[in-house]
Amino acid sequence: MNEPRARVLPGYLNSGSGHGQRRWEAAHAGFERVRMPDRMHPDCNAWCRTLEVTLNADPAGESCVLLAAHSFGWLMSMRKGGAA
C-alpha cells in the first residue's frame, strides 16, 4: 500500500510565508500545495476544477489523498466533496 499524500489547499492570498501550511510543506515530503488560479479573487468553481484536475492526475494506485485545507480552500473542498 502506498503512503498517503497530502494536498495543501491554501486560503485567500495563498496562505503566506509564515502560515502553518508552509511549515507542513517544508517539514513533510508528502505535502504538496495545489496551485490555485487567481489567489486575489478566489472563484469556487475555478478552484474546484483545479482540485479535480490535480486529484485525477495523481498516480494510479494511490492509497489515499489527504486534504489540508484552510480558509477558502476549506470552503472549496467542502463544496467539491458535496456537489460536483
Beta-sheet strands, E only, within 1-84: 5-9, 31-33, 65-69
CA distance 49 to 47: 5
Q: At residue 84, does pLDDT exceed 60?
A: no
Q: Are 16 and 70 in contact (CB under 8 A)?
A: no
Say which range, 2-6, 25-29, 52-56, has the weakest mean pLDDT.
Answer: 2-6
Q: Return left, alpha or beta for 69; rule: phi > 0 is left, psi -120 to 50 is alpha, else beta.
A: beta
Amino acid identity for residue 36 in this structure: M
pTM exceeding 0.85: no
Tens-digit pLDDT profile for residues 28-83: 877 888 998 888 888 888 988 998 888 888 766 566 788 888 888 888 788 755 44
